[in-house]
């Protein structure tokens, strides 16, 4: 679905991505993990053509990204950026309708089919009741769902999301990831996440980045090991098997708390 061959990327003189090779399979859920600044967003932005691509490096459905026109790409790949700020007086409906732009001719307006798709996308993301509200009046979580509705209205086979759960409480994190995971089984999802346990639960595959390089890629069991996590994040963790999902569940260890005898003291205090 997405093939990346030896991708290298620099901002000015600074190398951000080095020798990235990926073969993203159709209809799977991929998470990209890695510490702050490791290049996760930059990788997604290379795939969505935010930067001028280099020939023969990134392929979307077997087509070289270099040759794909932006309007055509918008029918193949939708994109939910980090913390979208919309500073105009658009209604929620207007925002979601923008997802239909790649299909609407410059001189025509939206068709009943476009409106039907918009309604469906809003119902799936539980935003239909917000349709007449001004986008500026929404909470961070509601706005995030609207941006996802816009991406769904684009009707693409690939959905890229950059930290989609970052503004959300735990209920809405699960609700959002459930929505994405079960939207449509024919969608390939690539999401940057920070929460290792959510990534573990929802991903078919995880890509772990450190300093612009892939240090591990595979199933959650293959990637979320003590060694890989130490290598990526420089912390020690305990890993248990989640009793329900049977996926790895990561518990970070604070050496400071242990060194300062915090747990023994709190036990003593509770007696
Ligand atoms: N527009 C830019 N110009 C110059 N350097 C940039 C730019 N955007 C990002 N960088 C740098 O590129 C590196 C990778 O950034 P990127 O946003 O891809 O990391 P990330 O893994 O997504 O980080 P985070 O988890 O903090 O969101 C960082 O060192 C960052 O400072």
**Domain ranges, ordered by start, for the chain:** 2-76+156-220
Supply the residue whose CA is at minimum distance from atom 6 of ligand 1: 11
Mean pLDDT, rounded, for 83-95: 82
Ligand 1 mean position, distance from CA 38 (Å): 7
| CATH number listed for the domain at residues 2-76+156-220 | 3.40.50.300
With a CB cutoff of 8 Å and minimum separation 6, the contacts of 69 are none
> Using 50, 70 and 90 to split pLDDT, how confident is the model at 18?
very high
Q: Percentage of the chain surpassing pLDDT 70? A: 96
pLDDT at position 267 is 63
Ligand 1 mean position, distance from CA 203 (Å): 23
pTM value? Answer: 0.91
Which atom of ligand 1 approaches the CA of 82 most closely?
27
Question: Which of 16, 35, 36, 191 has most ligand 1 atoms within 8 Å of CB, for mutation?
Answer: 16
Pocket of ligand 1 (CB under 6 A): 11, 16, 34, 36-42
Which atom of ligand 1 approaches the CA of 163 most closely?
27
* Average pLDDT score over the chain: 91
Supply the residue whose CA is at minimum distance from atom 30 of ligand 1: 37
pLDDT at 268 over 80: no
pLDDT at position 263 is 78
pLDDT at position 41 is 96
pLDDT at position 270 is 63
Which atom of ligand 1 approaches the CA of 42 most closely?
18
With a CB cutoff of 8 Å and minimum separation 6, the contacts of 164 are 80, 144, 148, 176, 177, 180, 191, 193
> Using 50, 70 and 90 to split pLDDT, how confident is the model at 266?
low
pLDDT at position 185 is 62
Supply the residue whose CA is at minimum distance from atom 31 of ligand 1: 37
100-151 pLDDT, tens digit per residue, is 999 988 778 888 899 999 999 999 888 999 999 998 888 888 888 899 999 9
pLDDT at 254 over 80: yes
Rounded CA separation 47/63 (Å): 12
| Least confident segment among 8-12, 29-33, 106-110, 248-252 | 106-110
Mean pLDDT, rounded, for 221-246: 95
pLDDT at position 111 is 85
165-217 pLDDT, tens digit per residue, is 887 889 888 988 988 888 766 799 999 999 999 999 999 999 999 999 999 99
Taking residue 101's Cβ as centre, other Cβ atoms within 10 Å add up to 15
What burial class does residue 64 get, using C-beta atoms within 10 Å of its C-beta: 0-12 exposed, 13-18 middle, 19+ buried?
middle
Task: Give DSSP secondary structure letters for 172-223.
Answer: HHHHHHHHHHHS-TT-EEEEE-S-HHHHHHH-SEEEEEETTEEEEEE-HHHH
Q: Percentage of the chain surpassing pLDDT 90? A: 72
- Nearest Cα neighbor of 19 from 35, 37, 33, 5 is 5
């Amino acid at each position: 679905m997405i093939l990346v061959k030896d991708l290298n990327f620099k901002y000015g003189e600074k190398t951000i991505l080095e020798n990235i090779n990926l073969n993203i399979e159709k209809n799977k859920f991929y998470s990209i993990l890695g510490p702050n600044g490791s290049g996760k967003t930059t990788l997604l932005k290379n795939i969505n053509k935010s930067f001028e691509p280099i020939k023969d490096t990134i392929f979307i459905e077997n087509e070289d990204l270099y040759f794909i026109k932006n309007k055509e790409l918008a029918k193949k790949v939708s994109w939910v950026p980090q913390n979208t700020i919309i500073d105009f007086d658009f209604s929620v409906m207007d925002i979601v309708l923008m997802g239909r732009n790649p299909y609407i001719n410059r001189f025509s307006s939206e068709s009943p089919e476009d409106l039907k798709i918009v309604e469906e996308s809003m119902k799936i993301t539980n935003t239909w009741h917000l349709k007449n509200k001004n986008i500026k009046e929404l909470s961070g979580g509601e706005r995030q769902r609207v941006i996802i509705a816009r991406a769904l209205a684009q009707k693409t086979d690939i959905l890229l999301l950059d930290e989609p759960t970052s503004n959300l409480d735990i209920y809405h994190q699960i609700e959002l990831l459930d929505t994405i995971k079960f939207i449509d089984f024919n969608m390939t999802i690539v999401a940057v996440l920070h929460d290792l346990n959510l990534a573990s639960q929802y991903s078919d595959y995880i890509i772990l980045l450190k300093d612009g390089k892939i240090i591990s890629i595979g199933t959650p069991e293959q990637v979320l090991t003590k060694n890989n996590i130490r290598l990526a994040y420089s912390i020690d963790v305990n890993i248990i098997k989640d009793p329900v999902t049977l996926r790895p569940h990561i518990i970070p260890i604070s050496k400071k708390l242990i060194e300062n005898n915090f747990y023994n003291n709190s036990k003593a205090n509770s007696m």
